[in-house]
Amino acid sequence: MFPRTRGRDLLARLCCAVACLAASGWLSVPPAAAAAGPRTTAAAASAPASSPARLTTAVKTGSWEHAISVFQPPRYPAGFAHFDHVNPDAPKGGTLRLHNPDRRTSFDKFNYYITKGVSPHGVELFMLESLALQSLDEPMAMYGLLAEAIWVAPDLSSVSFRLRPEARFSNGDPVMPEDVVHSFRQLSGKLASPEQQSNFAPIADALVVDQRTVRFDLRERQVDALFVAGNMPVFSRKWGAGKPFDQVVTDHPIATGPYLISKVEMPRRIEFKRDPNYWGKALPMRRGYFNFDRIVYVMYQDDNIALEAFKAGDFDLLKEYSSRSWVRRHQGVKWRDGRILKDPFPVDTGQGLQSLQLNLRRPKFQDIRVREALVLAWDFEQYNSYRTFKHAASLFNNTEYAAQGLPSAAELALLEPYRAELPARVFGPAFVPPTTASGPNGLRDNLRRARDLLSQAGWKIASDGKLRNAAGDAFEIEVLLGSRSDQTMWQRNLAKLGIDLKERLVDYALYHSRLQAFDFDVTVIAGRPFTLPPVAELRSTFHSSNATAEGSNNLRGLQSKAVDRLLELMGEAGTKEELVATARALDRVVMWGFYQVPTLFKAEEQASYWNKFGIPSRRARYFSIDTWHNNYGLPWPLWTWWDKSLESPAAAPRTPSAPR
């Protein structure tokens, strides 16, 4: 099955009228009015922003705020008691036992942010914290965590954070602006992984303003850049004792989170223990969070072995990616008698594009007719035999940001300057993936069309039955996999076209290394969850500047002036309407370019878990089960559930309900 995808419904109740926003201070003022905001010391130089200031912004600007929210006021006011998706009185104690929830099957370092090696799951979840924390109940809102207040410049040229005086690292040192600046420069510097450098590209610099204030000057005057700064992990300047960042490998992080590493059996097992001196336990955004005393991860090499270990009680929670396994293997006496519970966990998140990504650096994939033929050979209906998925058709599945019907006037205005470089179909109806449900000859018709496209592109069946080009080269594809993903159906259909497809399953370390070097033909990638389109992540994935940077997320090798410009405009969107138009235009360009074979998605986090947990009465809206896909894929169960054996006998039973 394909690994991880998530999404979320979007702004059900966004955007008041402009007059209403203006009355509440949600329209910005001219840049000159920013003089009242945070200023740097004389020693600090300000970096100019590259984009002109906009007359309006999607967030409140020009004042210190406890939280910032896009297109609507924050759900939780200043001084709120706790989030709705927690039990603020949950008992503390017990052990949470977990397995490796992604492709990492071993680890040899603790520094997640450098290229060399593989870090264990859990370090970034339980040890690292950021300046702000995104709410799991709102489309896009962040509340001060290490920072007690946030200031956004009226022209979006900068964002400042005033640190909490009580914030402490695990070694007892206070969190200082210098630590924040140090963290940024390490994460954005040349010794960090290209992925991290790309993530923090929207920020020009971080500057110390005074003893409690740090300011980020933004290279891109975009709302998304504010959240990049707010979600940046912060660690002590003492981590690594002054070594170059890429040599900070097995040093335990000196960070601010609620847990410490207590035991390591590298490369297969790591244990975390609660920090009794954790500084933030009384904060409103931490009440009801982190309820286990110990958290233990054991790494399994194989999904089948992991499932059997779960059934034997070796760990507590298992998210299932395989439709077949979910329907046929998550059952038995332990499910029937209630020892193990099974829940689809529907979520409101939008679903990123899950696909077989084609490496355009390979000459055989550079012809759009070839790419479309490969899409025609993938049979969703056969793959979805258990009827648990929907066919992926967009970068923004399950949301209003997915292209719909004919392009609007606003979309056409964005696309028209690039008509010469774009396929004509971009300007017509939205992309709809091919289907074989049209009748008994559906697959045959698709393969006939694929054969014609391949022939037009110069690929013809030779006497040996193989598809060859004019030079006599056979059409062969290797699908690089870091975990099991059955491509038998696609392999069989491609064989009918004379194409030889082979699967190459490797361990995570080699998989990671080959992806970073772009050493693959095709690989399976699942888009991550989002609430608003994640511009920084999309830029990392699609912008031309990342196409030649080894280690970047632009695995396709896509280089398009239209895509680059649309990404810039998405980041600059000052209204929801602008964001919808630019997202839909981008969607048309990427999907009609056939740069990938779209596969499937589901708006659920299907999982089974041992019946040992207390669960908050109200579920979060935007979450993942056991991983940190991005800041709207935060692991609500790992962070807010508790050991129900510790409950007082008088405690009322809790029945989880749908989110408000």
Residue 576 phi/psi, 5-degree rounding, is: -65, -40
HSE at residue 40, side-chain half, CA atoms within 13 A, is 17
- The tens digit of pLDDT for each residue in 516-529 reads 999 999 999 988 87
Would the pLDDT of 20 be above 70? no
What pLDDT, on a 0 to 100 scale, did the predictor assign at position 571? 82
Q: What is the mean pLDDT of residues 75-90?
A: 98
Would the pLDDT of 27 be above 80? no
What is the C-alpha separation between 369 and 446, in angstroms, rounded? 13
> 527-566 burial, b for 16+ CB within 10 Å, e for fewer?
bbbbbbbbbbbbbbbbbeebbebebbbbbbbbbbebbbbb
Q: How confident is residue 536, by pLDDT bands cut at 50, 70 and 90?
A: confident
Q: What is the mean pLDDT of residues 164-168?
A: 98
Q: What is the CATH number of domain 354-601?
A: 3.10.105.10
Other beta carbons within 10 angstroms of residue 127's beta carbon come to 24
What is the C-alpha separation between 639 and 292, in angstroms, rounded? 9
Would the pLDDT of 637 be above 50? yes
* One-letter amino acid of 579: L
What is the C-alpha separation between 151 and 43, in angstroms, rounded? 21
Q: Which residues contact 142 (CB under 8 A, 6 or more apart)?
A: 67, 68, 69, 132, 133, 134, 135, 150, 227, 230, 231, 631
Would the pLDDT of 436 be above 90? yes
* One-letter amino acid of 38: P
* One-letter amino acid of 154: P
> Where do the structural domains in the chain lie, given as residue ranges?
18-86+126-243, 354-601
What pLDDT, on a 0 to 100 scale, did the predictor assign at position 13? 29
What is the C-alpha separation between 483 and 320, in angstroms, rounded? 13
Would the pLDDT of 35 be above 60? no
Q: What is the mean pLDDT of residues 552-580?
A: 93
Which one has a higher pLDDT value, 654 or 549? 549
Q: How confident is residue 445, by pLDDT bands cut at 50, 70 and 90?
A: very high
Pick from 41-50, 109-118, 266-275, 439-448: least confident = 41-50
Q: What is the CATH number of domain 18-86+126-243?
A: 3.40.190.10
Mean pLDDT of the chain: 89
H helices present in 554-648, as ranges: 561-572, 576-592, 636-640
Would the pLDDT of 196 be above 90? yes
Distance of CA 645 to the CA centre of its chain: 34
What is the C-alpha separation between 214 and 180, in angstroms, rounded? 7
What is the C-alpha separation between 532 and 540, in angstroms, rounded? 16
What pLDDT, on a 0 to 100 scale, did the predictor assign at position 629? 59
What pLDDT, on a 0 to 100 scale, did the predictor assign at position 14? 27
Percent of the chain residues past pLDDT 70, beyond the cut? 89
What pLDDT, on a 0 to 100 scale, did the predictor assign at position 48? 34
What pLDDT, on a 0 to 100 scale, did the predictor assign at position 55? 37
Alpha-carbon distance values, 660 to 75, 84, 138, 348, 357 (Å): 11, 9, 10, 11, 37
Would the pLDDT of 170 be above 80? yes
Q: How confident is residue 632, by pLDDT bands cut at 50, 70 and 90?
A: low
- The tens digit of pLDDT for each residue in 88-111 reads 999 999 999 999 988 789 999 999
Would the pLDDT of 3 be above 60? no
- The tens digit of pLDDT for each residue in 260-308 reads 999 999 999 999 999 999 999 999 999 999 999 999 999 999 899 999 9
Q: How confident is residue 224, by pLDDT bands cut at 50, 70 and 90?
A: confident
Percent of the chain residues past pLDDT 90, beyond the cut? 78
Pick from 26-35, 496-505, 508-517, 599-608: least confident = 26-35
What pLDDT, on a 0 to 100 scale, did the predictor assign at position 88? 98
What is the C-alpha separation between 523 and 540, in angstroms, rounded? 17
Other beta carbons within 10 angstroms of residue 228's beta carbon come to 23
Would the pLDDT of 214 be above 90? yes
Pick from 30-39, 137-146, 333-342, 427-436: least confident = 30-39
What pLDDT, on a 0 to 100 scale, did the predictor assign at position 581? 98
What pLDDT, on a 0 to 100 scale, did the predictor assign at position 181? 98
Would the pLDDT of 56 be above 80? no
What is the C-alpha separation between 184 and 186, in angstroms, rounded? 5
What pLDDT, on a 0 to 100 scale, did the predictor assign at position 630? 60
